[in-house]
Amino acid sequence: MSINKGKNANYYTTLLDEVLLLVAILRKEKRKSPTIAELALLIGDSEERILECLEFGKPLKLIH
């Protein structure tokens, strides 16, 4: 694994943690799931990165 791939994996893991926490909070408070656009705005990242981190996290959910 190259250094860049390791940094990207760490970035997406951290972003995924933030996204999942925010989704849980917003679901509880607003009783609905936020859109990708809402998540991107609240986290301060692009919609593309939000979607990428969710794709990155899919295999982990299948394992657990």
The percentage of the chain sitting over the pLDDT mark of 90, rounded to a whole number, equals 58
Of the two residues 13 and 59, the one the predictor is more confident about is 13
At 36, the pLDDT band (50, 70, 90 cuts) reads: very high
Which class would CATH give 3-58?
A: mainly alpha
Q: What does the pLDDT average to over 23-40?
A: 93
- What residue spans define the domains of the chain? 3-58
Residue 25 has pLDDT above 50, yes or no: yes
Q: What pTM value is reported for the model?
A: 0.74
Locus of tokens 């692009």: 46
Q: In whole numbers, what is the pLDDT of the chain averaged over residues?
A: 83
Residue 31 φ/ψ region, left for φ over 0, alpha for ψ in the -120 to 50 degree band, beta for the rest:
left
